[in-house]
Structure 1
Amino acid sequence: MRLTPLQIVGLRDPEEGGWSRLRTLQYAGLHQMGLTRTIAHLLAAVIALGLFMGDVPLWQILIWLVTLGLALANGHRIDRSLADIGRRSMTREDFRRQALGVAACAFVWAFALTLFAPHGDSGEQLALWTLIAMLIAGSTATMSAAPIGAITFATVAGGAAALNFLFRGQIEFAAAVIAFLAVAIGGTLTAARTYLSARIAEAGVAEKDEVVSLLLREFQENEADWLWQVDVNRRVRSASPRFAYALGSEPDTINGKSLIELIAGESWASGKFAPSLHELTQMLTRRENFSNMLVQVDIAGGRRWWELSGTPITDSKGNFAGFRGVGSDVTEQRESDEKIAYLARYDTLTGLPNRLMLTEALGEAMRYADQWKTSCAFLMVDLDRFKSVNDSLGHQIGDRLLAQVSKRLQSVMTENEKCGRLGGDEFAIVIRDAADKDRIEKVATTVIKALSQPYDVDNHTLYIGASIGSAVGPRDGTTVETLMRNADLALYRAKDDGGGEYRTYEPSLHADAEERRRLELALRHAVGRNELLLNFQPVVSAKDEQVVSFEALLRWNSAEHGFVSPGKFIPLAEDTRLIVPIGEWVLHEACRHAVKWPSDMKVAVNVSGEQLLEPGFSESVVRALADSGLPANRLEVEVTESIFLRDARTARQALEEIMALGCSIALDDFGTGYSSLGYLRKLHFSTIKVDRSFVQGAAQGSRESLAIIRAVVAMAQSLDMATTAEGTETKEEVELVRSLGCDKIQGYFFGRPIGAEEALELVRKRRIVAA
């Protein structure tokens, strides 16, 4: 072993091999001699007491004995703590504690020399030194596993003895002690070197035995493995039947042939080998061991993957004689691993990179931007109106549509951009170098334009769009998570602005997101805190302008946010599904107030799609009517045509159950969304409400709006349904919709939304005037 004394004792790291590895080999058996060393020290202590008892004050002897006992107990405890060193690595803290434990014991004996020697004669002093010399010799013999401890004990205790002799003028004895210490320390180093060499050799043999046993066991248990051997010219020798079978040949036909030629296949003639074959050739040329090398081979059975391990062999004279090793066919495992790796990084529906791969690409782009002091960008793309397609035409059509979207997205990408699918109808784009800010906007507008073109899917012409939000790194975030979150905030703003838009991240978006979060939290407690209230807007007859019903409109007076616009909190309630408990509260409150009105007056309650599709919605209507005592024919449920796009069957079933109770159904916002003619044929609505946009357009002379209102009125009359014109604000608009044949009118001209008591008072006044 080429180890210096300092490297052997552990005070310097070895040039080869780890410090911890060597110390582990040394100290693994130290605990076995701990009890022996303790007994030796105790026996020496008894002899020392016999020499000086009566000469040294008893209290000094007791103090020394207690100190020695504590030092020995501490040393024994430290040795026991190292009992598991064979199962773990030795640490420098373990090394330090063991050395300090031995040093403490040595100082106790050094203290004995200083304390006891003045009370005895020369013979007793020599006897005490003899005891300590025996302990030093014993440490040298028994602590070869921990040489730092033996050297520390010898240095401290022996040094104290040499100084004691010098102070007494006994120079010859001091010299003898120093010579003894030199011999003891030299012996310790020699014994430690021998012990460590033996331990290293044992570990090496054990490791080799373990490797050989493992290889033999794996070879015997796995019949697919084979042995192979080549000579110095890399030609096959002593081909085993299994190896020949793996090559698709007979042993006699492959013996003597080049191994590389046999497994290179057609590439042998051209010399264009697979990279793994080049690596195998280099290992054979350099005569180096290799293990579990994955090699691509072309044999009679086609392209396969082999896992090869090999080691150089020598002849009886020590000359290189070739290679011997084992191999196995791992083609199926390789293909399975490749498939798993693909599924882990690519979206199976679109073939685009998935969220994991996009995250890695963004991280790489950010590192590139940091290195070259440039910028990168992350764009989040959300499809507009995709959910309607998915709900109305089914998930199969939706999946085919997503496949076409992915192809269009890929077609507009360059080498500087990578697109992928985050999930659902969300996609993303990573721009590696975004130093040109106009480039980001150009990519976004190109994507929006490309994705907004019509799609032809299974004879359906579909129109969707895209909204995009972007964030630029490192300006808008220095981590992947921050950049993705900020791009999402920008996308949310684009969706809020109506969709089909591109928005960039702004710091103020965090404030908007925080406001939305706080608003949602307050809305969750709005019912319990009695912050919600109902207003009622009158609906009058077009003939005599008498109030025939009221539409219940929800308002929110938050203790934290004040009056919140319905246009702000209603969409939030629908997004968070809070609309379900809130809608049930509205239904009960509306019925409770309406029961106080005249018996011929109805109350209209708006119901969202989330409510209608909730299991047991009809039961909640029954409870509201039963709790309030309101007759079913006085409750009118208003729905929009969008409810039929999500789950038409469930929506139709729920409405039929409500109609069976005697309630009437009104179709709100007719004509502003999707075609409802099929639903008008299947369900008998009591009222069709003409949207205010058509009323205002007709008042401004729009021919299209006039035609739409006339068509709706004519259709409703033929289906025995009433029509209500919404949004009338002037006398001219009232006269216009009356002339067009609308049955009922609703708008600010006849009254704004008012409280329940005011609504009741309004009914009384109008009835008195009419009478």
Structure 2
Amino acid sequence: MSFLQVIGLRDPGEGDWTRLRTLQYSELHKVSMIRFTAHGLAAMLTVALYMNSIAHWVLGIWLLSVVAAVWNVGRIDRKFIDIEARGVQWNEFTRQALGVAGCTVPWAAALMFFVPEGTSADHFALWAVVAMLVAGSAATMASAPVAIVVFDLVVGATGVASFILAGDIMFAIAAAVYTVTIVAGALRSARTYLSAKIAEAGVAEKDEVVSLLLREFEEKESDWLWQVDTNRRIRSASPRFAFAFGAAPENLEGESFIKLIAGSSWESGEFPRSLHELAEKLKRREHFSNLLVQVYLETGRRWWELSGTPMYDDNGSYVGFRGVGSDVTEQRDRDEKIAYLARYDTLTGLPNRLMLTEALGDAMRYADQWKSRCAFLMIDLDRFKAVNDSLGHQLGDRLLASVSKRLAGVITDNEQCGRLGGDEFAVVIRDASDKGRVDKLANAIISALSQPYTIDNHTLFIGASVGSAIGPRDGSSVETLMRNADLALYRAKDEGGNTHYQYVPSLHANAEERRKLELSLRRAISHNELELNFQPVVNARSETVVSFEALLRWNSAEHGFVSPVKFIPLAEDTRLIVPIGEWVLHEACREAARWPDDIKVAVNVSGEQLLEPNFAGTVVRALAETGLPAHRLEVEVTESVFLRDGRIARQALEEIMALGCSIALDDFGTGYSSLGYLRTLRFSTIKVDKSFVQGATHDSQESLAIIRAVVAMARSLEMTTTAEGVEDAEQAALIRELGCTKIQGYYFGRPMKAVEARSLVVKSNNTIRAA
């Protein structure tokens, strides 16, 4: 910092001019009395020197001018008493400098006008008095360097001039050197003083900030300062620290810190591990940070986060610990809840996929260590989807909760069950060395989950399919074992469900075959590998062809002929049934347009197709592009289409009927039969499944009763009935006797190619005309 900046005649490079002047002038008022005393003594000595050579009235006026000038400066200095609160302004700075300049006038006048009247000795004596004032000013006015510069330079320069006028050149030079030296030294002192004040202000500001932070820290509800002595007894308990304990500060003073934290566990001696860790840290005098400690207070269990550091006195002796703490109970509870949600299923309370994966990994490590076996069971609920779709997700969720309780009741301490997601569950068997344990547990699970459930006055029946894999035999990693159990589960579902299937290596080949089959099926339409066969449906009385059912066939270039039983479920699982079904609809309508006008075509429609937006528009396009009248198209659906989303399916079928198409209900009585379907939708035909036809042929009273009931119901609702699976004349006669309207089966014709179907209807028409 330059001298001009120290004096105040130039703005500082860093900092604020007002702030620096405030630091300088804050204690200026304290030297007013010293100045007044020094000038008073100096003035009296001067009067004494010139009492005999200058008129008394002149000396009196001079003395009064000294007093007036010093009093004026003192008055100005007193205005700086509260300067720290408001800061020094420029006009105050200049007023004080002018006031000091006023003090120089009497002394400059004395040096210029008193000297000629006195002797040379009086001159030197007067200079000595003035020199003392100059030195005293430099010594006491470091807080206002501009005052030093003004007073010392003006008075010093006047003294030098007085010696020059007196002809004492050497003394003039000495006075000049003296004045410059005093001023230079005073400016250095002023710079040192200002630097010290700046440093002092910085320290004070830091102390204030620290104090403010500590106050704010203490004012927080869950944060506090704590301190213990060498015996771990509380010292200087803060209000917030006492509040955390629920006690007054004076009641905590001198109490054992560990004992208070331990609470009721102090008597039993069963301390939490975190408390032992805290005690060890204090015992070993180790610094610790963010140590999570379990605390037992009268209000219950809490979690504190403590940080502490050992304290030592000036001699290096250990005197205790000091630190900070905070109550993190709410945060800990949130973390525990998040951890729970991350590892447990919220609906059932069972471990989720993550936790089951960890449990399986632990079981596999255990099996590897002890050369034993572990197992993983995957469980899928049979018919749950139908319940969920028909009765709603809320009831489905309650059903899943009931399933989880039954599942938990079956397992032992050696197993852990959990929910993988949806209606899939799993069980980890830690020790599966008992070869029969996996089968026993799987069968127990199937039996328990297959018992009826009563929820909201609904009696529900579901089943369970189980697939299992043994580790490490069926997989050396968690991922492999879970994948193989999934393959086994898929096989159990293929077997009809409600069964247990263990993994065998051949399942990989099946899975690979399914993958390749799916890939080929995706290319089947573009490669012209799909074709339609048509099976005739005849009038039960006249045995004339009234319609054909379009049946899809796939002759793959890679796999050869693939049974519909194999690729239709695959198409539905992969939703390939949607584009394939659209192709079937167009091809069936195109072929039917070549038949006589009285012959219909029936096309099977999957539930996946009905759920497609604007399925009716697909039907309209097929009819428009092929020119087939709407009344010649019959759409066949099964009852299962209503289980997934009955509202959308019903709406789609109503739109199709509005076009003039007819709707047939296929496989009636074999699935989830409900008379509500027949009441809400005007089906044109009810198809009796071939299983009932075969049963009636073998005199099954149940089958006969079902067929008679279906026929009677259809007649009352003005619907026709079609019996499927008729294979010989005896079955045809029986069906005719039972009253079915139409018959379909191998006796009247197997599925045939389009050319053969066209030839059959032409032949049938010719026969009718000939008759």
1:471–1:484 Cα contact (<8 Å) kept: yes
1:504 to 485, 502, 505: 502
Task: Please give the secondary structure, in 2, of the residue aligned with 1:226.
Answer: strand
Cα shift readout 1:188-231 (whole Å, capped 9, x = no counterpart): xxxxxxxxxxxxxxxxxxxxxxxxx9999799668342211111
1:367 counterpart residue number: 365
Cα distance 1:705–1:485, how it changes in 2: closer, same or farther (>3 A)?
same
Q: Aligned equivalents of 1:214 and 1:666: distance in 2?
A: 86
2:467–2:502 Cα contact (<8 Å) kept: yes
CA displacement at 1:300 relative to structure 2: 4.2
2:691 counterpart residue number: 693
2:352–2:420 Cα contact (<8 Å) kept: yes
Q: Aligned equivalents of 2:533 and 2:268: distance in 1?
A: 86
Uncovered stretches (5+) of structure 2, i.e. residues with no partner: 1-208
1:549–1:601 Cα contact (<8 Å) kept: yes
The 5-angstrom pairing of residues 453-472 of structure 1 reads 453-472=451-470
2:217–2:224 Cα contact (<8 Å) kept: no
Q: Aligned equivalents of 1:696 and 1:433: distance in 2?
A: 49
Matched letter for residue 310 of structure 1: G
Q: Aligned equivalents of 1:657 and 1:360: distance in 2?
A: 52
1:752 counterpart residue number: 750
Task: Please give the secondary structure, in 1, of the residue aligned with 2:596.
Answer: coil
Q: Aligned equivalents of 2:269 and 2:498: distance in 1?
A: 55
Q: Aligned equivalents of 1:340 and 1:253: distance in 2?
A: 38
1:544 to 532, 542, 545: 542
1:765 counterpart residue number: 763
Task: Please give the secondary structure, in 1, of the residue aligned with 2:436.
Answer: helix
Are residue 333 (structure 1) and residue 331 (structure 2) matched? yes
1:552–1:605 Cα contact (<8 Å) kept: yes
Cα distance 1:275–1:626, how it changes in 2: closer, same or farther (>3 A)?
same
2:473 counterpart residue number: 475
Among the aligned pairs, what percent are the same residue?
74
2:203 counterpart residue number: none
1:297 counterpart residue number: 295
Matched letter for residue 571 of structure 1: P
Cα shift readout 1:117-138 (whole Å, capped 9, x = no counterpart): xxxxxxxxxxxxxxxxxxxxxx
1:642 counterpart residue number: 640
Task: Please give the secondary structure, in 2, of the residue aligned with 1:448.
Answer: helix
Q: Aligned equivalents of 1:716 and 1:552: distance in 2?
A: 24
The 5-angstrom pairing of residues 155-304 of structure 1 reads 223=220, 224-304=222-302
Matched letter for residue 581 of structure 2: G
2:493 counterpart residue number: 495
1:595–1:629 Cα contact (<8 Å) kept: yes
Q: Aligned equivalents of 2:210 and 2:686: distance in 1?
A: 82
Cα shift readout 1:616-656 (whole Å, capped 9, x = no counterpart): 10000000000000000000000001111111111111111
Task: Please give the secondary structure, in 1, of the residue aligned with 2:243.
Answer: helix
- Once the two structures are overlaid, the 10-residue window that deviates more, 454-463 or 686-695, is 454-463
Matched letter for residue 577 of structure 1: R
1:573 counterpart residue number: 571
Matched letter for residue 633 of structure 2: L
Are residue 397 (structure 1) and residue 395 (structure 2) matched? yes
1:522–1:558 Cα contact (<8 Å) kept: yes
1:382–1:426 Cα contact (<8 Å) kept: yes
1:652–1:683 Cα contact (<8 Å) kept: yes
Cα shift readout 1:364-422 (whole Å, capped 9, x = no counterpart): 11111111111111111111111011011010011001001111111111111111110
> Over the residues paired in the alignment, what is the CA RMSD in angstroms?
1.7
Cα shift readout 1:337-385 (whole Å, capped 9, x = no counterpart): 0001000100000011000001111111111111111111111111111
Matched letter for residue 598 of structure 2: D
Q: Aligned equivalents of 1:503 and 1:683: distance in 2?
A: 41
CA displacement at 1:303 relative to structure 2: 2.1
2:381 to 380, 383, 393: 383
Matched letter for residue 249 of structure 1: A
- Once the two structures are overlaid, the 10-residue window that deviates more, 676-685 or 729-738, is 676-685
2:475–2:481 Cα contact (<8 Å) kept: yes
CA displacement at 1:328 relative to structure 2: 0.6
Cα distance 1:251–1:373, how it changes in 2: closer, same or farther (>3 A)?
same
Number of aligned residue pairs: give it: 559
Uncovered stretches (5+) of structure 1, i.e. residues with no partner: 1-212
The 5-angstrom pairing of residues 339-738 of structure 1 reads 339-738=337-736
Q: Aligned equivalents of 2:484 and 2:431: distance in 1?
A: 18
1:219–1:225 Cα contact (<8 Å) kept: no
Matched letter for residue 334 of structure 2: S
Matched letter for residue 244 of structure 2: A
CA displacement at 1:292 relative to structure 2: 1.2
2:171 counterpart residue number: none
1:219–1:226 Cα contact (<8 Å) kept: no
Q: Aligned equivalents of 1:281 and 1:757: distance in 2?
A: 94
Bigger Rg, which one: 2
Task: Please give the secondary structure, in 2, of the residue aligned with 1:256.
Answer: coil
Q: Aligned equivalents of 1:631 and 1:282: distance in 2?
A: 92
- Once the two structures are overlaid, the 10-residue window that deviates more, 576-585 or 267-276, is 267-276
2:217–2:223 Cα contact (<8 Å) kept: no
Cα distance 1:219–1:725, how it changes in 2: closer, same or farther (>3 A)?
farther
Cα shift readout 1:700-721 (whole Å, capped 9, x = no counterpart): 1100000000000000000000
Task: Please give the secondary structure, in 1, of the residue aligned with 2:699.
Answer: coil
1:72 counterpart residue number: none
Matched letter for residue 314 of structure 1: Y
Cα distance 1:340–1:553, how it changes in 2: closer, same or farther (>3 A)?
same
Matched letter for residue 306 of structure 1: W
CA displacement at 1:263 relative to structure 2: 2.2
CA displacement at 1:259 relative to structure 2: 1.1
Q: Aligned equivalents of 1:510 and 1:424: distance in 2?
A: 25
Matched letter for residue 566 of structure 1: P
Cα distance 1:725–1:268, how it changes in 2: closer, same or farther (>3 A)?
same
Q: Aligned equivalents of 2:573 and 2:310: distance in 1?
A: 69
Cα distance 1:648–1:219, how it changes in 2: closer, same or farther (>3 A)?
farther
Q: Aligned equivalents of 1:334 and 1:247: distance in 2?
A: 18
1:469–1:492 Cα contact (<8 Å) kept: yes
Matched letter for residue 291 of structure 1: S
Matched letter for residue 767 of structure 1: N
CA displacement at 1:440 relative to structure 2: 1.0
Task: Please give the secondary structure, in 2, of the residue aligned with 1:353.
Answer: coil
Q: Aligned equivalents of 2:474 and 2:267: distance in 1?
A: 56
1:692–1:728 Cα contact (<8 Å) kept: yes
1:550–1:602 Cα contact (<8 Å) kept: yes
Q: Aligned equivalents of 1:215 and 1:346: distance in 2?
A: 47
Cα distance 1:697–1:229, how it changes in 2: closer, same or farther (>3 A)?
same
Q: Using structure 2 for the length normalisation, give the TM-score.
A: 0.71
Cα shift readout 1:429-458 (whole Å, capped 9, x = no counterpart): 111111111111111111111111111111
Q: Using structure 1 for the length normalisation, give the TM-score.
A: 0.71
1:228–1:327 Cα contact (<8 Å) kept: yes
Cα distance 1:588–1:259, how it changes in 2: closer, same or farther (>3 A)?
same
Matched letter for residue 309 of structure 2: T
1:376–1:474 Cα contact (<8 Å) kept: yes
Q: Aligned equivalents of 1:326 and 1:221: distance in 2?
A: 9
Task: Please give the secondary structure, in 2, of the residue aligned with 1:554.
Answer: strand
CA displacement at 1:314 relative to structure 2: 2.3
Task: Please give the secondary structure, in 2, of the residue aligned with 1:668.
Answer: strand
The 5-angstrom pairing of residues 25-36 of structure 1 reads none
CA displacement at 1:504 relative to structure 2: 0.8
CA displacement at 1:757 relative to structure 2: 1.1
